[in-house]
Chains A and B, each alone.
Chain A
Amino acid sequence: MRPRRQELLQALQDAATPEAMAWLVESATPDEARMFRAFSSAPRHFPHEPIGYGSWTQAEAARVELLLAYSGTDADSYVVTCDRLCQAADVRELVAFYKALPLLPWPDRHALRAAEGVRSNITDVFCAVAHDNPYPSEHFDDVAWNTMVLKALFIGVELAPIVGLDERANPALMRMLCDYAHERWAAGRTVSPELWRCVGPCADDAAIADLERVIATGTPEEKEAAERALASRKES
């Protein structure tokens, strides 16, 4: 789901106390140091509780509003401010920041930052970029995209919530995923059935052989995933 600033703010207003909303209005500032302080202390006014808008919490929505209200004057300085914010951020601050990627001004300028989020080994931070977030599918090149998908499998988080998963299937990713499956099999480990979804559309002969192997020897869940993958194959 693509978040919209006005909808997010409305959901926050419906959930939060009037005192907290007054604090938020007072705290909107073009001063970087004051914005950082407000961004960090937002949970003292807005608890980490869901607001019924996507997976957003009060604290996350308030933090995003502070970040958007700050906005800055030009793309270069805004990117520097975002880097400085992330450099000193705790886990939940990073999650709020990365969930906000599709809302930030100068959207083309945050791809490197988003790739940095994908490098995190903190599952929640990784998922803030990878899950339910349209930013990667719109701004990542194939290298960054493929890195993200493979890492999701590697750290054991679901692929299904990745936005654009089918549209961004590509031959390089197909090859990486099949190699990964062979590594897992060689070690006597299981492979997530979700993997085959990204293999199907671009499957080459070797990948088709892998899918047929899964259909012949896999669990019912794996078989179903492999059959669906074969059916999704684009004829070249």
Chain B
Amino acid sequence: MRFIDPHIHCISRTTDDYENMAAAGIVAVIEPAFWLGQPRTSVGSFVDYFATLVGWERFRASQFGIRHYCAIGLNSKEANDEALAEQVIDLLPRYLYKDGVVALGEIGYDDQTEAEDKYFRAQLELVKDTDLPVMIHTPHRDKKRGTIRSMDVIEEHGIDPSRVVIDHNNEETVQDVKDRGFWAGFTIYPKTKMGNERMVEVVKRFGPERIIVDSSADWGKSDPLAVPKTARLMLERGVSEADMKTVTYDNALAVYGQSGQIREADWADAPGIDQRQLFEGNSVLRGQEPQVAEGLIE
């Protein structure tokens, strides 16, 4: 089985994580630009961060046989530093049209302040006349209102919901998101977001259409194997293999594939992925069968 984790912050993960992800069948990841757990104080930090996303992290993932893509944007938390936010917005066009940049993101609201609203809208304007998908971070607090407000603003800016992923959904938000034609991302994250048993029930209740499972694994307590673990639990609990594949692989490929920057052929037709780029030719996957990860994430 092959999986895509369409939301993971690899810069915070170790090489052990990459090995385990590859062994569990993850073939591609999407790393959206976010904050680093503490605010950056100068635009140069963003320049270096974006360079990492399109350069070093892409190479690091390739060493483990994993294709790395990214989304570029100004996150909502740091949008509140307006002097810095202005400079970051000016940087974005340098990155949005590079190879492997599959979306603008993750953007949206955190505390739903005026500044967050201003830079959310400014970024939507940057891509409204393109085909570039958008990845939306929905707030932890006042989530339902923040989710609906995000969708209202996206529609107001004339962006087609079919190229927008609303992420970090729960049972309370998913129906609205699906009804309005957006894609609904679910982050399997211990304690604060979704557990994977709840996720299985969501797929059974709402159907697999336009639902996407991700790990959002980062610098906090999180699990880079959330997607394969949830996939396994789905099969154990009676979700069909086809439906499981839809939410752990096909849907992510369909929505982000609209960028033209992520294709199944990138890994399916690439025997010994990026062998050329491997230090001393070592591939962690050589001669190994992918293993399926197990475990509950509560």
B-contacting residues of A (Cβ < 8 Å)? 33, 36-37, 40-41, 43-44, 87-94, 121-124, 155-156
In the assembled complex, B56 has its CB within 8 A of some CB on chain A: yes
- How near does chain A come to B255, taking the closest CB pair, in angstroms? 19
Contact flags B84-100 to A (C-beta < 8 A → 1, else 0): 00000001011101111
Taking CB as reference atom, which chain A residue is nearest B53? A90
Chain B residues in 8 Å Cβ range of A88: 47, 50-51, 91, 94-95
Chain A residues in 8 Å Cβ range of B278: 123
In the assembled complex, B158 has its CB within 8 A of some CB on chain A: no
Cβ contact within 8 Å between B277 and A122: yes
User: With A123-B277, A156-B280 as given contacts, are A94 and B97 in contact (CB-CB < 8 Å)?
Assistant: no
What 8 additional pairs, Cβ within 8 angstroms, besides A87-B51, A122-B59?
Answer: A40-B95, A41-B97, A89-B54, A90-B54, A90-B99, A91-B58, A122-B56, A123-B276
A41 to B96, CA, bound (A): 9
A-contacting residues of B (Cβ < 8 Å)? 47, 50-51, 54-56, 58-59, 91, 93-95, 97-100, 260, 276-281
Chain A residues in 8 Å Cβ range of B51: 87-89
- How near does chain A come to B15, taking the closest CB pair, in angstroms? 14
A93, A124, A156: the one within 8 Å of B281 (CB):
A156
Chain B residues in 8 Å Cβ range of A91: 54-55, 58-59
**Interface of B: prevailing SS:** helix
Sample (28) of A-B pairs whose CB atoms are under 8 Å apart: A33-B93, A37-B93, A37-B94, A40-B94, A40-B98, A40-B99, A41-B97, A44-B97, A44-B260, A87-B47, A88-B47, A88-B91, A88-B94, A89-B54, A89-B55, A90-B54, A90-B99, A90-B100, A91-B54, A92-B99, A93-B98, A94-B55, A121-B56, A122-B56, A122-B277, A123-B59, A123-B277, A156-B281
- How near does chain B come to A152, taking the closest CB pair, in angstroms? 12
> What number of A-B contacts does a CB cutoff of 8 Å give?
57
- How near does chain B come to A64, taking the closest CB pair, in angstroms? 16
Cβ contact within 8 Å between B47 and A155: no
Taking CB as reference atom, which chain A residue is nearest B90? A33
A123 to B274, CA, bound (A): 11
A94 to B260, CA, bound (A): 21
A48 to B59, CA, bound (A): 17
Chain B residues in 8 Å Cβ range of A124: 59, 276-277
User: With A37-B93, A93-B98 as given contacts, are A122 and B55 in contact (CB-CB < 8 Å)?
Assistant: yes
